[in-house]
Chains A and B, each alone.
Chain A
């Protein structure tokens, strides 16, 4: 075990109680992630990788076990503190992009900045990030439904980075993209890792997993 891991899971178990019987989605999962690592989580459907990512993103709480982020036990945090963690420490890139449809591309990127700083971006960070992911000013004025899948995912990457999070969680980031755009997005994510960002990525695509330095394989809620 590392002395000061960025993320540490200790026997994390997640059980979904169902009328037909309890479903164990995660079964005593333990591992650590150091700062700057790029970890791919692989496994077949139903293996528990999305549940694991939800735990890492603090969207859900474990039934038992502990999750430490930057040394703090998330079990001891209330909803407000977990939400603050998602806003400041964690960036999320989803398979379905998940942009807010009522906001323009620019506003989608600016949204977490506004939530954090309570003032519009006067540092030019939003423009800079949009430029880095290849979205120009004209395109940034468009609403998500007016953009292609690749463009939406680029905006989502910019949004995930706007508050400079230490951890970037990616849930099948290329799952809804063609191979060329998927490759471009993965290059972008790899580049972010090269610059020191810690990345955890769920994928079932071996080619995508090969961008990472370490792969965790899951089956039936356990790491194999």
Chain B
């Protein structure tokens, strides 16, 4: 059917081309801003999720601070920095954990302490880990040198090696000289970069045997952390439940952290951030809505007489209203379509600049922001056109016919 009302809307846009283009430009900018920000957020979330999911198979068990964990002060005078009495996991508790968790993967203990180190005349701080020999082989890859074979040899992370210019054979003094507790160790291996991880952050750490650690800090059988490396990442929740069920039956003795929680917390933070940034970008659409409203009101004012003619020869109010709604829909659809095309280019640049990778750009989670922003743009256009259209439809035909 020939829709003469649509024809009238299109012709009116055509004769006021510049004004219409400027109004649609607001929608273009709004759609580009919202979809680009949305795509940036989606790409950031996907990228971080991918990075973090590589360590999602780790469950970390620590002693609960309010529970019956083994007291830390007993083993040696220096553990816990001398002042704070940190809760530890005892040997018995470790064995209990092992009983329920062993079937899910590798269970191992970690001794750890943050301490002063001295390399030549340079002082600083580093985390010192004490690990079982077998576990060391399991967890780390040595890029240079070998695994420690004695209580005086250690491996170090690549960041620490770079920072202190340490090489195989370099010596490190661990401990505070003023407190007269210094142990000198020799670097025998430099580890491959591991990045941030839930279990051990080895890049800036010193890793030695359990004997070396307890020799320096005491506290044998009082572990800082028990880790479970899952064979199947899907067992995470079940393993956590079983460990908590066994260990916290009477009182809370341990805390269990699985990385899925951390992952969801990070993605939730990123999602909030994305929503916030999109809301700011959405302000541009409100500006566009004002512009569309203004153009539509001008259009109604200019066409009062035409509306009067249409009404006097038998045009229903709904048809008059439709004419102006069509006009705002056309502006919205054109603006949103151009905006969507530009969003692909601008979005790509923004993602590349802010995330550093466009690996996830063409995924549905990322591209969905383009049709979503288009829809928001069109809906805003229609909403902006409703009042002017209603006003036009309800003009008094006689008054409208008198208009010049």
Tell me whether A102 and B314 are in contact in the complex, defined as CB-CB below 8 angstroms, given that A119-B2, A120-B2 are known contacts. no
Let me know if A141 is at the binding interface, CB within 8 A.
no
Contacts of B317 in A (CB 8 A): 79-80, 83
**How does the 8 Å CB contact mask read for A86-100 relative to B, with 1 for contact and 0 for none?**
111000101000111
Nearest A residue to B319, CB-CB: A115
Q: State which size class the interface on B falls in.
A: 20 to 34
Contacts of B398 in A (CB 8 A): 54, 59-60
Task: Tell me the smallest distance from the CB of A160 to a CB of chain B, in Å.
Answer: 8
B2 A100 Cβ-Cβ under 8 A: no
Let me know if B265 is at the binding interface, CB within 8 A.
no
Nearest B residue to A169, CB-CB: B312
Nearest A residue to B394, CB-CB: A79
Let me know if B311 is at the binding interface, CB within 8 A.
yes
Contacts of A119 in B (CB 8 A): 1-2
Nearest B residue to A110, CB-CB: B4
Let me know if B315 is at the binding interface, CB within 8 A.
yes
Contacts of B2 in A (CB 8 A): 114, 119-120
Nearest A residue to B10, CB-CB: A102
Contacts of A101 in B (CB 8 A): 306
A100 B312 Cβ-Cβ under 8 A: no
Let me know if A107 is at the binding interface, CB within 8 A.
yes
Let me know if B71 is at the binding interface, CB within 8 A.
no
Contacts of A57 in B (CB 8 A): 312
Let me know if B197 is at the binding interface, CB within 8 A.
no
Task: Tell me the smallest distance from the CB of A20 to a CB of chain B, in Å.
Answer: 18
Contacts of B311 in A (CB 8 A): 59, 83
In the complex the two chains form, what is the Cα distance from A133 to B144 in whole Å?
101
B1 A98 Cβ-Cβ under 8 A: no
Let me know if B168 is at the binding interface, CB within 8 A.
no
Nearest B residue to A85, CB-CB: B314
- The A61-119 residues at the B interface (CB cut-off 8 A) are 79-80, 83-84, 86-88, 92, 94, 98-103, 107, 110-112, 114-116, 118-119
Q: Which one of B12, B314, B401 contacts A98 once the chains associate, using CB atoms below 8 Å?
A: B401
Tell me whether A87 and B8 are in contact in the complex, defined as CB-CB below 8 angstroms, given that A54-B398, A98-B309 are known contacts. no
Contacts of A80 in B (CB 8 A): 316-317
Chain A residues bordering chain B, tally (CB within 8 A): 31
A83 B316 Cβ-Cβ under 8 A: yes
Nearest A residue to B315, CB-CB: A115
- The B376-404 residues at the A interface (CB cut-off 8 A) are 397-398, 401
Let me know if A197 is at the binding interface, CB within 8 A.
no
**Max count, chain B CB within 10 A of own CB: residue among A60, A83, A110:** A83
Task: Tell me the smallest distance from the CB of B23 to a CB of chain A, in Å.
Answer: 19
Q: Which one of A102, A112, A115 contacts B306 once the chains associate, using CB atoms below 8 Å?
A: A102
In the complex the two chains form, what is the Cα distance from A33 to B187 in whole Å?
117
B1 A84 Cβ-Cβ under 8 A: no
Nearest B residue to A117, CB-CB: B1
Let me know if A154 is at the binding interface, CB within 8 A.
no
Nearest B residue to A84, CB-CB: B314
Contacts of A103 in B (CB 8 A): 4, 7-8
Let me know if A159 is at the binding interface, CB within 8 A.
yes
Contacts of B316 in A (CB 8 A): 80, 83
B313 A111 Cβ-Cβ under 8 A: yes
Contacts of B11 in A (CB 8 A): 102
Which residues of A pack against B, CB within 8 Å?
A: 54, 57, 59-60, 79-80, 83-84, 86-88, 92, 94, 98-103, 107, 110-112, 114-116, 118-120, 159, 163
- Given known contacts A107-B7, A111-B313, what 19 new A-B pairs fall within 8 Å (CB)? A57-B312, A59-B311, A59-B397, A80-B317, A83-B311, A87-B314, A88-B314, A94-B401, A98-B309, A98-B312, A99-B309, A100-B306, A100-B309, A100-B310, A110-B4, A111-B4, A119-B1, A119-B2, A159-B313
Sorted from nearest, which 6 A-B pairs have the closest CB atoms? A87-B314, A86-B314, A102-B11, A98-B309, A120-B2, A59-B397
* 17 pairs, A vs B, C-beta closer than 8 Å: A59-B311, A83-B314, A83-B316, A86-B312, A86-B313, A88-B314, A92-B312, A98-B305, A100-B8, A100-B306, A102-B306, A103-B8, A107-B7, A111-B4, A112-B314, A115-B313, A119-B2
